[in-house]
Structure 1
Amino acid sequence: MNSISRAVPEVALQAIRKLIAEQGIGPGDALPSQRDLAMQLGVSRASLREALSSLSALGMISVQPGKGVFVQSLVEVSRNESTPGWPFAAQASPMDIFQLRYALEGFAAGIAAVTLTPGELDVLEDNVEAMRCELKSGHFDAAARLDFEFHRRILLASGNQAMLSILTASAEIFLESQKLPFIRAERAMETWQEHRKILRALARRASGPAQKAMQEHVRNAALRTGIAFVAPAAS
Protein backbone atom coordinates (compact mmCIF):
# COMPACT_ATOMS: atom_id res chain seq x y z
CA MET A 1 0.00 0.00 0.00
CA ASN A 2 1.51 3.39 -0.95
CA SER A 3 1.66 6.36 1.40
CA ILE A 4 -1.57 7.91 0.11
CA SER A 5 -3.66 4.76 0.04
CA ARG A 6 -6.40 4.67 2.62
CA ALA A 7 -5.43 3.04 5.90
CA VAL A 8 -7.38 -0.06 6.91
CA PRO A 9 -9.13 1.68 9.87
CA GLU A 10 -10.38 4.36 7.45
CA VAL A 11 -11.82 1.72 5.13
CA ALA A 12 -13.46 -0.05 8.07
CA LEU A 13 -14.93 3.21 9.37
CA GLN A 14 -16.54 4.04 6.04
CA ALA A 15 -17.75 0.45 5.59
CA ILE A 16 -19.48 0.53 8.98
CA ARG A 17 -21.17 3.82 8.14
CA LYS A 18 -22.32 2.42 4.79
CA LEU A 19 -23.60 -0.73 6.49
CA ILE A 20 -25.66 1.28 8.98
CA ALA A 21 -27.10 3.53 6.27
CA GLU A 22 -27.87 0.83 3.70
CA GLN A 23 -29.41 -1.63 6.15
CA GLY A 24 -31.50 1.04 7.83
CA ILE A 25 -30.11 0.33 11.28
CA GLY A 26 -31.65 2.94 13.57
CA PRO A 27 -30.75 4.54 16.89
CA GLY A 28 -30.77 1.97 19.68
CA ASP A 29 -30.27 -0.97 17.32
CA ALA A 30 -27.30 -3.26 17.80
CA LEU A 31 -24.63 -3.92 15.21
CA PRO A 32 -23.31 -7.46 14.67
CA SER A 33 -20.77 -8.66 17.21
CA GLN A 34 -17.28 -7.28 16.76
CA ARG A 35 -16.06 -10.71 15.72
CA ASP A 36 -18.77 -11.05 13.06
CA LEU A 37 -18.35 -7.44 11.97
CA ALA A 38 -14.60 -7.88 11.50
CA MET A 39 -15.19 -11.00 9.41
CA GLN A 40 -17.94 -9.33 7.38
CA LEU A 41 -15.74 -6.33 6.59
CA GLY A 42 -12.57 -8.36 6.10
CA VAL A 43 -10.50 -6.38 8.61
CA SER A 44 -8.59 -7.22 11.76
CA ARG A 45 -10.14 -6.78 15.20
CA ALA A 46 -7.57 -4.03 15.91
CA SER A 47 -8.58 -2.06 12.81
CA LEU A 48 -12.24 -2.56 13.67
CA ARG A 49 -11.72 -1.26 17.21
CA GLU A 50 -9.97 1.83 15.82
CA ALA A 51 -12.89 2.51 13.48
CA LEU A 52 -15.46 1.96 16.22
CA SER A 53 -13.53 4.29 18.52
CA SER A 54 -13.69 7.07 15.91
CA LEU A 55 -17.43 6.59 15.38
CA SER A 56 -17.99 6.53 19.12
CA ALA A 57 -16.10 9.80 19.53
CA LEU A 58 -18.37 11.34 16.90
CA GLY A 59 -21.44 10.20 18.82
CA MET A 60 -22.64 7.87 16.07
CA ILE A 61 -22.35 4.63 18.02
CA SER A 62 -22.03 3.49 21.61
CA VAL A 63 -19.67 0.65 22.51
CA GLN A 64 -20.99 -1.03 25.66
CA PRO A 65 -18.56 -3.61 27.09
CA GLY A 66 -20.23 -6.97 27.55
CA LYS A 67 -23.33 -5.87 25.68
CA GLY A 68 -22.35 -4.85 22.17
CA VAL A 69 -22.19 -1.91 19.81
CA PHE A 70 -25.30 0.21 19.43
CA VAL A 71 -26.20 2.92 16.93
CA GLN A 72 -26.81 6.30 18.53
CA SER A 73 -27.66 8.48 15.54
CA LEU A 74 -28.66 7.99 11.94
CA VAL A 75 -25.73 7.85 9.55
CA GLU A 76 -25.64 9.35 6.07
CA VAL A 77 -22.85 8.64 3.63
CA SER A 78 -23.23 11.73 1.47
CA ARG A 79 -20.14 13.77 0.68
CA ASN A 80 -21.88 16.87 1.94
CA GLU A 81 -22.89 15.48 5.31
CA SER A 82 -22.28 17.71 8.30
CA THR A 83 -20.02 16.80 11.18
CA PRO A 84 -21.63 17.25 14.62
CA GLY A 85 -20.88 20.76 15.88
CA TRP A 86 -19.63 22.00 12.49
CA PRO A 87 -20.93 25.59 12.13
CA PHE A 88 -19.95 26.22 8.49
CA ALA A 89 -22.10 23.64 6.71
CA ALA A 90 -23.58 26.27 4.39
CA GLN A 91 -20.11 27.23 3.14
CA ALA A 92 -18.15 23.98 2.96
CA SER A 93 -18.14 20.53 4.51
CA PRO A 94 -15.30 19.44 6.80
CA MET A 95 -14.18 17.04 4.07
CA ASP A 96 -13.96 19.94 1.62
CA ILE A 97 -11.75 21.87 4.03
CA PHE A 98 -9.46 18.94 4.78
CA GLN A 99 -9.03 18.27 1.06
CA LEU A 100 -8.23 21.93 0.42
CA ARG A 101 -5.70 21.90 3.24
CA TYR A 102 -4.16 18.69 1.89
CA ALA A 103 -3.55 20.34 -1.48
CA LEU A 104 -2.46 23.79 -0.31
CA GLU A 105 -0.49 22.98 2.80
CA GLY A 106 1.36 20.00 1.40
CA PHE A 107 2.58 22.14 -1.50
CA ALA A 108 3.42 25.03 0.85
CA ALA A 109 5.46 22.79 3.16
CA GLY A 110 7.52 21.58 0.21
CA ILE A 111 8.34 25.18 -0.74
CA ALA A 112 8.92 26.29 2.86
CA ALA A 113 11.56 23.60 3.32
CA VAL A 114 13.86 25.58 1.04
CA THR A 115 12.73 29.12 1.89
CA LEU A 116 12.44 29.11 5.72
CA THR A 117 14.83 31.45 7.48
CA PRO A 118 16.61 30.32 10.69
CA GLY A 119 14.42 32.74 12.63
CA GLU A 120 11.21 31.30 11.16
CA LEU A 121 12.42 27.81 11.98
CA ASP A 122 13.05 28.87 15.59
CA VAL A 123 9.49 30.20 15.84
CA LEU A 124 8.10 26.88 14.59
CA GLU A 125 10.22 24.98 17.12
CA ASP A 126 8.85 27.17 19.92
CA ASN A 127 5.31 26.58 18.61
CA VAL A 128 5.73 22.80 18.64
CA GLU A 129 7.06 22.84 22.20
CA ALA A 130 4.23 25.14 23.34
CA MET A 131 1.68 22.75 21.80
CA ARG A 132 3.20 19.84 23.73
CA CYS A 133 2.75 21.76 26.98
CA GLU A 134 -0.85 22.77 26.21
CA LEU A 135 -1.82 19.21 25.25
CA LYS A 136 -0.21 17.79 28.37
CA SER A 137 -2.36 20.22 30.36
CA GLY A 138 -5.52 19.30 28.43
CA HIS A 139 -5.90 22.81 26.98
CA PHE A 140 -7.23 21.75 23.59
CA ASP A 141 -8.54 25.13 22.44
CA ALA A 142 -5.11 26.66 23.04
CA ALA A 143 -3.50 23.72 21.25
CA ALA A 144 -5.82 24.23 18.27
CA ARG A 145 -4.80 27.89 18.05
CA LEU A 146 -1.13 26.86 18.09
CA ASP A 147 -1.97 24.29 15.42
CA PHE A 148 -3.49 27.04 13.27
CA GLU A 149 -0.47 29.28 13.82
CA PHE A 150 1.96 26.47 12.91
CA HIS A 151 0.23 25.97 9.57
CA ARG A 152 -0.15 29.71 8.95
CA ARG A 153 3.56 30.30 9.43
CA ILE A 154 4.46 27.54 6.99
CA LEU A 155 2.13 29.07 4.39
CA LEU A 156 3.70 32.46 5.10
CA ALA A 157 7.22 31.06 4.74
CA SER A 158 6.31 29.54 1.37
CA GLY A 159 5.99 33.07 -0.01
CA ASN A 160 2.79 32.21 -1.91
CA GLN A 161 0.49 35.14 -1.23
CA ALA A 162 -2.48 33.55 -2.98
CA MET A 163 -2.46 30.54 -0.63
CA LEU A 164 -1.98 32.79 2.38
CA SER A 165 -4.92 34.94 1.24
CA ILE A 166 -7.18 31.88 1.10
CA LEU A 167 -6.21 30.98 4.66
CA THR A 168 -6.65 34.55 5.90
CA ALA A 169 -10.06 34.97 4.25
CA SER A 170 -11.28 31.67 5.72
CA ALA A 171 -9.39 31.76 9.01
CA GLU A 172 -12.41 30.85 11.14
CA ILE A 173 -13.20 27.78 9.03
CA PHE A 174 -9.58 26.61 9.01
CA LEU A 175 -9.31 27.08 12.78
CA GLU A 176 -12.53 25.14 13.34
CA SER A 177 -11.20 22.27 11.22
CA GLN A 178 -8.11 22.22 13.41
CA LYS A 179 -10.24 21.87 16.54
CA LEU A 180 -12.08 18.82 15.20
CA PRO A 181 -9.31 16.20 15.68
CA PHE A 182 -9.13 17.05 19.38
CA ILE A 183 -12.56 15.49 19.97
CA ARG A 184 -10.56 12.36 20.82
CA ALA A 185 -8.47 13.47 23.78
CA GLU A 186 -6.65 10.14 23.97
CA ARG A 187 -5.19 10.78 20.50
CA ALA A 188 -4.49 14.50 20.86
CA MET A 189 -0.73 14.04 21.18
CA GLU A 190 -0.66 12.58 17.66
CA THR A 191 -1.04 16.11 16.30
CA TRP A 192 2.09 17.20 18.16
CA GLN A 193 4.01 14.13 16.99
CA GLU A 194 3.06 14.84 13.38
CA HIS A 195 4.08 18.48 13.73
CA ARG A 196 7.45 17.31 15.03
CA LYS A 197 7.86 15.13 11.94
CA ILE A 198 7.04 18.06 9.66
CA LEU A 199 9.45 20.26 11.60
CA ARG A 200 12.28 17.73 11.26
CA ALA A 201 11.80 17.63 7.49
CA LEU A 202 11.77 21.43 7.34
CA ALA A 203 14.93 21.63 9.44
CA ARG A 204 16.67 19.24 7.02
CA ARG A 205 15.55 21.42 4.09
CA ALA A 206 13.98 18.26 2.66
CA SER A 207 11.23 19.46 0.31
CA GLY A 208 9.74 16.08 -0.65
CA PRO A 209 9.61 14.66 2.89
CA ALA A 210 8.17 17.95 4.20
CA GLN A 211 5.35 17.85 1.65
CA LYS A 212 4.67 14.19 2.37
CA ALA A 213 4.71 14.71 6.15
CA MET A 214 2.27 17.61 5.87
CA GLN A 215 -0.11 15.69 3.62
CA GLU A 216 -0.03 12.68 5.94
CA HIS A 217 -0.72 14.98 8.89
CA VAL A 218 -3.78 16.55 7.24
CA ARG A 219 -5.20 13.15 6.27
CA ASN A 220 -4.55 11.75 9.74
CA ALA A 221 -6.25 14.78 11.30
CA ALA A 222 -9.27 14.14 9.09
CA LEU A 223 -9.31 10.50 10.12
CA ARG A 224 -9.20 11.42 13.82
CA THR A 225 -12.33 13.46 13.07
CA GLY A 226 -13.99 10.48 11.41
CA ILE A 227 -13.48 11.74 7.85
CA ALA A 228 -11.73 9.69 5.18
CA PHE A 229 -10.95 10.94 1.71
CA VAL A 230 -9.08 9.50 -1.24
CA ALA A 231 -6.05 11.51 -2.34
CA PRO A 232 -4.98 11.46 -6.00
CA ALA A 233 -2.19 9.06 -6.81
CA ALA A 234 1.24 10.55 -7.32
CA SER A 235 2.27 10.83 -10.96
Structure 2
Amino acid sequence: MHASTPRAVPEYALQAIRDLIEQEDYRAGDALPSQRDLAERLGVSRTSLREALSSLSALGLVSVQPGKGVFVQAPATQLTASNGFAWPFAAQVSAADTFQLRFALEGFACGLAAVTLSAQELDALQDNVEQMRLELRASDFERASQLDFDFHRRILQASGNQAMLGIVTSSADIFLESQKLPFIRPERALETWKEHTKILRALGRRAKAPAQKAMQQHIRAAALRTGIAFVTLGD
Protein backbone atom coordinates (compact mmCIF):
# COMPACT_ATOMS: atom_id res chain seq x y z
CA MET A 1 0.00 0.00 0.00
CA HIS A 2 1.29 3.40 -0.94
CA ALA A 3 -0.18 6.70 0.26
CA SER A 4 0.84 10.11 -0.99
CA THR A 5 0.63 11.63 2.51
CA PRO A 6 0.17 10.26 6.05
CA ARG A 7 -3.28 11.86 6.15
CA ALA A 8 -4.42 9.58 3.33
CA VAL A 9 -3.69 6.39 5.29
CA PRO A 10 -6.82 6.34 7.54
CA GLU A 11 -9.02 6.99 4.49
CA TYR A 12 -7.29 4.15 2.62
CA ALA A 13 -7.84 1.85 5.61
CA LEU A 14 -11.49 2.88 5.82
CA GLN A 15 -12.14 1.99 2.18
CA ALA A 16 -10.11 -1.21 2.46
CA ILE A 17 -12.22 -2.41 5.40
CA ARG A 18 -15.41 -1.66 3.50
CA ASP A 19 -14.09 -3.61 0.52
CA LEU A 20 -13.16 -6.49 2.81
CA ILE A 21 -16.68 -6.65 4.28
CA GLU A 22 -18.29 -6.60 0.86
CA GLN A 23 -15.92 -8.94 -0.98
CA GLU A 24 -15.79 -11.57 1.76
CA ASP A 25 -19.56 -11.33 2.32
CA TYR A 26 -19.53 -10.44 5.99
CA ARG A 27 -23.01 -10.17 7.50
CA ALA A 28 -24.41 -8.01 10.28
CA GLY A 29 -23.14 -9.42 13.58
CA ASP A 30 -20.06 -11.10 12.08
CA ALA A 31 -16.72 -10.41 13.77
CA LEU A 32 -13.90 -8.96 11.68
CA PRO A 33 -10.29 -10.11 12.17
CA SER A 34 -8.53 -8.68 15.23
CA GLN A 35 -7.24 -5.12 14.97
CA ARG A 36 -3.67 -6.45 14.95
CA ASP A 37 -4.48 -8.78 12.05
CA LEU A 38 -6.37 -6.07 10.19
CA ALA A 39 -3.47 -3.62 10.54
CA GLU A 40 -1.00 -6.21 9.23
CA ARG A 41 -3.29 -7.27 6.42
CA LEU A 42 -3.87 -3.69 5.26
CA GLY A 43 -0.29 -2.56 5.87
CA VAL A 44 -1.26 0.35 8.09
CA SER A 45 -0.44 1.40 11.64
CA ARG A 46 -2.74 0.60 14.54
CA THR A 47 -3.35 4.34 14.95
CA SER A 48 -4.52 4.71 11.35
CA LEU A 49 -6.66 1.61 11.72
CA ARG A 50 -8.33 2.98 14.86
CA GLU A 51 -9.14 6.23 13.04
CA ALA A 52 -10.71 4.28 10.17
CA LEU A 53 -12.73 2.09 12.54
CA SER A 54 -13.91 5.16 14.46
CA SER A 55 -15.21 6.68 11.21
CA LEU A 56 -16.93 3.44 10.22
CA SER A 57 -18.45 3.23 13.70
CA ALA A 58 -19.77 6.80 13.37
CA LEU A 59 -21.41 5.76 10.10
CA GLY A 60 -23.02 2.76 11.75
CA LEU A 61 -21.20 0.22 9.59
CA VAL A 62 -19.22 -1.47 12.36
CA SER A 63 -19.37 -1.71 16.14
CA VAL A 64 -16.09 -1.53 18.04
CA GLN A 65 -16.49 -3.36 21.34
CA PRO A 66 -13.46 -3.00 23.67
CA GLY A 67 -12.14 -6.37 24.78
CA LYS A 68 -14.39 -8.24 22.35
CA GLY A 69 -13.55 -7.10 18.83
CA VAL A 70 -14.96 -5.33 15.80
CA PHE A 71 -18.34 -6.47 14.52
CA VAL A 72 -20.18 -5.70 11.29
CA GLN A 73 -23.24 -3.65 12.11
CA ALA A 74 -24.72 -2.94 8.67
CA PRO A 75 -25.50 -5.42 5.90
CA ALA A 76 -23.04 -5.56 3.03
CA THR A 77 -25.63 -4.08 0.66
CA GLN A 78 -25.43 -0.80 2.57
CA LEU A 79 -21.73 -0.52 1.70
CA THR A 80 -22.37 -0.01 -2.00
CA ALA A 81 -24.35 3.22 -2.00
CA SER A 82 -23.78 5.22 -5.16
CA ASN A 83 -22.09 8.09 -3.33
CA GLY A 84 -19.74 5.76 -1.45
CA PHE A 85 -21.43 5.91 1.95
CA ALA A 86 -24.18 4.06 3.77
CA TRP A 87 -27.58 5.73 4.02
CA PRO A 88 -29.96 3.40 5.87
CA PHE A 89 -33.05 5.59 5.34
CA ALA A 90 -33.09 5.45 1.54
CA ALA A 91 -36.56 3.89 1.53
CA GLN A 92 -37.91 6.92 3.44
CA VAL A 93 -35.92 9.92 2.25
CA SER A 94 -32.68 10.55 0.39
CA ALA A 95 -29.59 11.99 2.04
CA ALA A 96 -29.66 14.91 -0.42
CA ASP A 97 -33.25 15.77 0.51
CA THR A 98 -32.32 15.62 4.19
CA PHE A 99 -29.45 18.07 3.75
CA GLN A 100 -31.68 20.33 1.65
CA LEU A 101 -34.32 20.40 4.40
CA ARG A 102 -31.67 21.14 7.01
CA PHE A 103 -30.30 23.97 4.86
CA ALA A 104 -33.68 25.70 4.80
CA LEU A 105 -34.91 24.87 8.28
CA GLU A 106 -31.73 25.22 10.33
CA GLY A 107 -30.49 28.29 8.49
CA PHE A 108 -33.71 30.11 9.35
CA ALA A 109 -33.63 28.81 12.93
CA CYS A 110 -30.05 29.99 13.40
CA GLY A 111 -31.03 33.49 12.30
CA LEU A 112 -33.84 33.49 14.85
CA ALA A 113 -31.56 32.14 17.57
CA ALA A 114 -29.12 35.01 17.05
CA VAL A 115 -31.69 37.41 18.52
CA THR A 116 -33.43 35.10 20.99
CA LEU A 117 -30.84 32.85 22.65
CA SER A 118 -29.97 33.45 26.29
CA ALA A 119 -26.52 33.90 27.80
CA GLN A 120 -26.82 30.40 29.30
CA GLU A 121 -27.65 28.90 25.91
CA LEU A 122 -24.67 30.68 24.35
CA ASP A 123 -22.40 29.33 27.10
CA ALA A 124 -23.68 25.80 26.45
CA LEU A 125 -22.89 26.15 22.74
CA GLN A 126 -19.40 27.39 23.56
CA ASP A 127 -18.85 24.35 25.80
CA ASN A 128 -20.10 22.08 23.02
CA VAL A 129 -17.70 23.56 20.46
CA GLU A 130 -14.73 23.18 22.82
CA GLN A 131 -15.67 19.59 23.64
CA MET A 132 -15.92 18.76 19.93
CA ARG A 133 -12.41 20.09 19.42
CA LEU A 134 -11.13 17.73 22.10
CA GLU A 135 -13.00 14.71 20.72
CA LEU A 136 -11.69 15.36 17.20
CA ARG A 137 -8.13 15.60 18.53
CA ALA A 138 -8.73 12.18 20.10
CA SER A 139 -10.15 10.87 16.78
CA ASP A 140 -13.44 9.97 18.49
CA PHE A 141 -15.64 10.72 15.50
CA GLU A 142 -18.71 8.99 16.91
CA ARG A 143 -18.71 11.23 19.96
CA ALA A 144 -17.98 14.24 17.73
CA SER A 145 -21.04 13.44 15.58
CA GLN A 146 -23.20 13.29 18.71
CA LEU A 147 -21.90 16.68 19.78
CA ASP A 148 -22.62 17.92 16.27
CA PHE A 149 -26.25 16.82 16.61
CA ASP A 150 -26.50 18.44 20.05
CA PHE A 151 -25.07 21.72 18.73
CA HIS A 152 -27.74 21.94 16.04
CA ARG A 153 -30.51 20.84 18.43
CA ARG A 154 -29.55 23.54 20.93
CA ILE A 155 -29.75 26.21 18.24
CA LEU A 156 -33.19 24.97 17.22
CA GLN A 157 -34.29 25.13 20.86
CA ALA A 158 -32.88 28.64 21.21
CA SER A 159 -34.81 29.78 18.13
CA GLY A 160 -38.04 29.33 20.08
CA ASN A 161 -39.80 27.67 17.13
CA GLN A 162 -41.29 24.48 18.55
CA ALA A 163 -42.57 23.31 15.15
CA MET A 164 -39.06 23.19 13.71
CA LEU A 165 -37.69 21.52 16.83
CA GLY A 166 -40.51 18.98 16.61
CA ILE A 167 -39.53 18.03 13.05
CA VAL A 168 -35.98 17.28 14.14
CA THR A 169 -37.05 15.49 17.32
CA SER A 170 -39.53 13.24 15.51
CA SER A 171 -36.90 12.27 12.91
CA ALA A 172 -33.85 12.35 15.17
CA ASP A 173 -32.34 9.15 13.73
CA ILE A 174 -32.38 10.56 10.20
CA PHE A 175 -30.94 13.94 11.20
CA LEU A 176 -28.23 12.31 13.33
CA GLU A 177 -27.28 10.02 10.45
CA SER A 178 -26.78 13.04 8.18
CA GLN A 179 -24.47 14.53 10.80
CA LYS A 180 -22.40 11.35 10.97
CA LEU A 181 -21.72 11.26 7.23
CA PRO A 182 -19.08 14.03 6.98
CA PHE A 183 -16.90 12.21 9.52
CA ILE A 184 -16.25 9.50 6.93
CA ARG A 185 -13.24 11.62 5.94
CA PRO A 186 -11.08 11.88 9.08
CA GLU A 187 -8.62 14.27 7.45
CA ARG A 188 -11.47 16.79 6.96
CA ALA A 189 -13.29 16.27 10.26
CA LEU A 190 -11.86 19.46 11.77
CA GLU A 191 -13.76 21.48 9.15
CA THR A 192 -16.99 20.81 11.06
CA TRP A 193 -15.48 22.32 14.21
CA LYS A 194 -14.24 25.37 12.31
CA GLU A 195 -17.68 25.92 10.79
CA HIS A 196 -19.35 25.58 14.18
CA THR A 197 -16.91 28.16 15.53
CA LYS A 198 -17.94 30.58 12.77
CA ILE A 199 -21.62 30.03 13.57
CA LEU A 200 -20.91 30.58 17.26
CA ARG A 201 -19.15 33.88 16.56
CA ALA A 202 -22.15 35.16 14.60
CA LEU A 203 -24.51 34.09 17.38
CA GLY A 204 -22.30 35.78 19.95
CA ARG A 205 -22.57 39.05 17.97
CA ARG A 206 -26.35 38.61 17.78
CA ALA A 207 -25.95 38.97 14.02
CA LYS A 208 -29.06 37.46 12.43
CA ALA A 209 -28.10 37.43 8.74
CA PRO A 210 -24.47 36.28 9.26
CA ALA A 211 -25.68 33.53 11.61
CA GLN A 212 -28.17 32.25 9.05
CA LYS A 213 -25.56 32.39 6.29
CA ALA A 214 -22.91 30.64 8.40
CA MET A 215 -25.30 27.80 9.22
CA GLN A 216 -26.33 27.36 5.59
CA GLN A 217 -22.71 27.37 4.44
CA HIS A 218 -21.91 24.76 7.08
CA ILE A 219 -24.71 22.41 6.02
CA ARG A 220 -23.86 22.75 2.33
CA ALA A 221 -20.15 22.13 3.06
CA ALA A 222 -20.99 19.08 5.20
CA ALA A 223 -23.03 17.65 2.34
CA LEU A 224 -20.24 18.28 -0.14
CA ARG A 225 -17.78 16.46 2.13
CA THR A 226 -19.86 13.34 1.52
CA GLY A 227 -20.20 13.96 -2.22
CA ILE A 228 -23.74 15.38 -2.03
CA ALA A 229 -24.80 18.54 -3.84
CA PHE A 230 -28.32 19.93 -3.58
CA VAL A 231 -30.18 22.85 -5.15
CA THR A 232 -31.05 26.05 -3.26
CA LEU A 233 -32.95 29.14 -4.34
CA GLY A 234 -29.64 30.97 -4.73
CA ASP A 235 -28.37 28.51 -7.37
TM-score scaled by structure 1?
0.65
Residues 174-223 of structure 1, C-alpha deviations (whole Å, 9 max, x = no match): 00100000011000000000000000000000000000000000000000
- In the aligned structure 2, how far is the partner of 1:82 from the partner of 1:182? 14
Residues 134-182 of structure 1, C-alpha deviations (whole Å, 9 max, x = no match): 0010000000000000000000000101100000000000001000000
1:118 corresponds to 2:119 = yes
- AA matched with 2:144: A
Residues 27-64 of structure 1, C-alpha deviations (whole Å, 9 max, x = no match): xxxxxxxxxxxxxxxxxxxxxxxxxx9xx97x89xxxx
How far does residue 82 in structure 1 lie from its aligned partner after superposition? 6.7
Matched residues, percent identical? 67
TM-score scaled by structure 2?
0.65
CA RMSD of aligned residues (A): 2.2
1:143 corresponds to 2:137 = no
Residues 55-83 of structure 1, C-alpha deviations (whole Å, 9 max, x = no match): x97x89xxxxxxxxxxxxxxxxxxx9676
- In the aligned structure 2, how far is the partner of 1:96 from the partner of 1:201? 26
How far does residue 233 in structure 1 lie from its aligned partner after superposition? 1.9
- In the aligned structure 1, how far is the partner of 2:223 from the partner of 2:91? 19
- In the aligned structure 2, how far is the partner of 1:176 from the partner of 1:140? 13
- AA matched with 1:233: G
* Superposed counterparts of 1:155-166, under 5 Å: 155-166=156-167
Rate the CA distance shift 1:143–1:197 in 2: closer, same or farther, 3 A.
Answer: same
Q: Unaligned 5+ residue runs, structure 2? A: 1-10, 20-80
1:85 corresponds to 2:86 = yes
Aligned structure 1 segments of 4 or more residues deviating by more than 2 angstroms: 80-84
Aligned match of 1:96: 97
How far does residue 84 in structure 1 lie from its aligned partner after superposition? 2.8
- AA matched with 1:227: I
- In the aligned structure 1, how far is the partner of 2:117 from the partner of 2:90? 35
